[in-house]
Chain A
């Protein structure tokens, strides 16, 4: 009976822990297949509507917070920073898959 209980406990714990650990899936394991799926969904116009990012540079308003605050005060600074609509590309941008992800995807496709 004791052994049976132990087995039961291990089974219950293991099954529940698998569910728990799902929150910790890999960061980008399907990145390469994601690119394929997106390309497929766009068909022949894929290259026009998809973009693979190399680098992203945050856009900073000219002048630092400190310098603007000192020179013009908070109100003007907020005017400079506030709610003007921003331009957004109509392309779908994705993070480029890592070499490991590319190789993994290529292997899966050739199996």
Chain B
């Protein structure tokens, strides 16, 4: 019995390692307002300097030491260069970020929300941004999908943090991003076609974790489900999207932008 209890304790204490996908905005700021504001503007200026009209953006919402192997970012979305109308009537130019966020108080459901860089980075654990800039043609195709509202057609509100990208049972923020990308590439919103193409060409991240932890998550946690997986669990990540674009020669740049302004190659 002692052994069983030990196993349970070890499994449950390390259960938090599954908390990698933050399709939500943390409520508490963890840096000074000035630091977050300055960092968000630097990210925006970097992308603008690169001429990115649409890029994939990632953030780190949890301590990096807690992230499972292969997971570098906890939330992914698409930033689109836009004309932004303010409540004063003034119009300015900047990036609007198109997100899939979990609903407040209903974590197994999601909604599509537009926010802006300072909103996006408000509650991050590390001032670090993932930036994937697709080729100009793919950028334009992504913009076309979003501007025409087709991103809403490929949104599935049923949320699981470890959603399987090869079917449409559940969807998380990163899978939604991949759906938008592929809707642009294949010029379709037919989810069956999109999933078939994804299965043939996209290599997701295997989630290496204790099956017992997954079982507990499946039972007790609203936003975790293994129903859409067979034996092993695979999901979409920021980095696997970058690799997918790179492999198909659709990538211009994939970098990690840090608070000091340092830039590292992602791939």
Contacts and interface: CB of A to CB of B under 8 A. Distances in A.
A89 B8 contact: no
A58 B96 contact: yes
Contacts of A51: 84, 86-88, 90, 92
Nearest to B113: A27
B222 A24 contact: yes
Contact of B45 (A15, A88, A96): A88
Contact of A78 (B27, B32, B103, B137): B137
Nearest to A49: B37
B267 interface: no
A92 B8 contact: no
A86 B93 CA distance: 9
Given A22-B19, A51-B92, A86-B48, A13 B53 contact: no
Interface stretch (B116-124, B198-206, B258-266): B116-124
Given A13-B12, A25-B24, A53-B86, 9 more contacts: A16-B16, A41-B34, A57-B147, A59-B82, A65-B140, A81-B53, A91-B94, A93-B86, A95-B116
Contact of B118 (A26, A77, A93): A93
Q: Is the interface of B mostly helix, strand, loop or mixed?
A: mixed
A59 B221 contact: no
Given A23-B62, A27-B103, A92-B41, A55 B85 contact: yes
Given A12-B8, A27-B102, A86-B53, A52 B19 contact: no
B83 interface: yes
Nearest to B90: A51
A5 B119 CA distance: 44
Interface in B169-187: none
B37 A85 contact: no
Interface in B81-113: 81-88, 90, 92-96, 101-105, 107, 111, 113
B23 A53 contact: no
6 contacts: A12-B8, A24-B107, A25-B102, A56-B82, A57-B85, A95-B113
